[in-house]
A and B are shown apart, each in its own frame.
Chain A
Amino acid sequence: MIEINNVSKSFGSLEVLKGIDLKVEKGEVLSVIGASGSGKSTLLYCINALEPIQGGEIRVDGIDVHGAKTDVNKLRRHIGMVFQQWNSFPHMTTLENVALAPRIVLGKTKAEAREIAARQLDHVGLGDKLDTYPTNMSGGQQQRLAIARALAMEPDYMLFDEVTSALDPELVGEVLDTLKMLSEEGMTMILVTHEIPFARDVSDRVAFFRQGVIEEIGPPSQVIGDPTSEHTKQFLSNVR
């Protein structure tokens, strides 16, 4: 379970998160929507300690993420993250991209790591691209590579930060299909997205962020289908 208690976060004098409270249960899919600059990405970075926080606490399976004694490298093994920019490692083949972390972080043997990597790449539909270099692949393929790379660590949680917004429109579908597949397999996910219909389709709950606070949270049928907040209504009518 991910527990976020009254978290605040600032960049200098700019307060980006202003007391966020949120719980994500095992197996749940939570979508986070909201205007640009509302703090959605920042929250994800705080959850796996890529950014420090100034107040409150975040616990992942009971472990205090920002605790002084917490081994963040160990913690991050349980939390996969995929970014808007797909961040393939350009000097490695697809297979090497995925096999590296299992080998050097989890200590798997070379053969084990390659086997895991091949399996995950096959899972996201890149089974025929094992020896290809990322520069020779489309954005959609590279984004699926990034997903496979995170999955190879066998994480308990996956964080997705607008993973389709840098893609050409015709490539969005294949990545959304991959996300959908993961949700159906029971992966616990927090999904920052601008794809409202998709969020409505896959999420158990949707949170609408506004200026560093959660303005509204609930099942998609409510937050997207029948929002109570004026701000949510306005945001949804703008993105539609």
Chain B
Amino acid sequence: MDYTFHWRPVWKRLPELIEAGLLTMEVAVLAMLLGIVLGMMLAFIRMSGRRELTWFATTWIETARNTPALLQLFFFGFGLGAFGVHLSPYVIVLCALSFNNAGYLAETFRGGFQAVPDTQVRAARSLGMTWGQTYSRIIIPQVLKIVYHPMTNQMVWSVLMSSLGMLVGFRELSGETQFAASQTFRVFEFFAITAVIYYVIVKLILGGSFLIHWKFFRKGEG
């Protein structure tokens, strides 16, 4: 092998890479939060059993789960572009990730709701709590606890999937790496370091997730 490694260009660009890594985290976390809210709404719509709304939720969930993430991204990028709706790369990635997260999380949440006995709703309502109080205080906290680990997995997936963003010109971690590599021709070195940065991000998320779990969900256990 006559390839000689040159790491100096990589170190010089490290601040930019780390900054791009932070951007990756930002967009992934935002997409996760949006995904949780939207996924919760989709789960409620599905459970409501109202025909005129359920087809919408079902279509969303089925598309998110059964088509390539790349196509979902292109839909928000080039697809909407064809209709004259031009979004910035950041918004395209945020929309596509949120759409995808919401679809997966909706099903996860639905399973979580089914695991909470509906006698809990009756007990709360019999105390005079409104529907909203019942769900926000009694049911959803229990659901979040049940679905916590699948939710963490979705968060990791959301980070990794954001790397597709470079295909719509988003300079997140992968996009930035690609850009730097093409300027310096140190392709292997750049992507090796970037892999390490992704690894660190994922570990940070898992660590944060562990702390959140410890703080909020350890209570009431065995």
Contact = CB atoms under 8 A, between A and B. Distances in A.
A101 B127 contact: yes
A150 to B, nearest CB: 7
A133 B219 contact: yes
Interface string B125-147: 11111100100011001100100
A91 B119 CA distance: 15
B2 interface: no
Contacts of B49: none
B126 A76 contact: yes
Contact of B129 (A83, A91, A101): A101
Nearest to A90: B220
A106 B117 CA distance: 25
A150 B120 contact: no
A234 interface: no
Contacts of B126: 48, 50, 76, 79-81, 150
B133 A83 contact: no
Contacts of A89: 120, 123-124, 138
B128 A105 contact: yes
A100 B137 CA distance: 9
B144 to A, nearest CB: 9
A92 B133 contact: no
B122 interface: yes
B123 A76 contact: no
Nearest to B117: A85
Contacts of B220: 90-92, 133-135
B222 interface: yes
Interface in B125-181: 125-130, 133, 137-138, 141-142, 145
Nearest to B145: A91
Contacts of A91: 141-142, 145, 219-220
A83 B130 contact: no
Interface in A76-108: 76-77, 79-81, 83, 85, 87, 89-93, 100-101, 104-106
A106 B127 CA distance: 10
A13 interface: no
Interface residues of A, number: 31
A189 to B, nearest CB: 15
Interface residues of B, number: 22
A76 B131 CA distance: 13
Contacts of B117: 85, 87
Nearest to A132: B220
A124 interface: no
B14 to A, nearest CB: 44
A61 B137 CA distance: 30
Interface in B200-222: 219-222
Nearest to B136: A104
Contacts of B124: 89
A151 to B, nearest CB: 11
Contacts of A80: 126-127
Interface string A116-139: 000000000000000001111000
B193 to A, nearest CB: 43
Contact of B222 (A74, A85, A93, A135): A135
Interface in B96-121: 117, 119-120
A4 interface: no
A149 B125 CA distance: 13
B128 A73 contact: yes
16 contacts: A45-B122, A50-B126, A73-B128, A76-B128, A83-B119, A89-B124, A90-B142, A90-B220, A92-B220, A104-B129, A104-B137, A133-B220, A135-B222, A136-B222, A149-B127, A153-B128
Given A74-B128, A92-B220, A133-B220, 14 more contacts: A48-B126, A73-B130, A76-B126, A76-B128, A87-B120, A89-B124, A91-B219, A100-B137, A105-B133, A106-B128, A134-B220, A150-B126, A153-B127, A153-B128
Interface of A: 45, 48, 50, 73-74, 76-77, 79-81, 83, 85, 87, 89-93, 100-101, 104-106, 133-136, 146, 149-150, 153
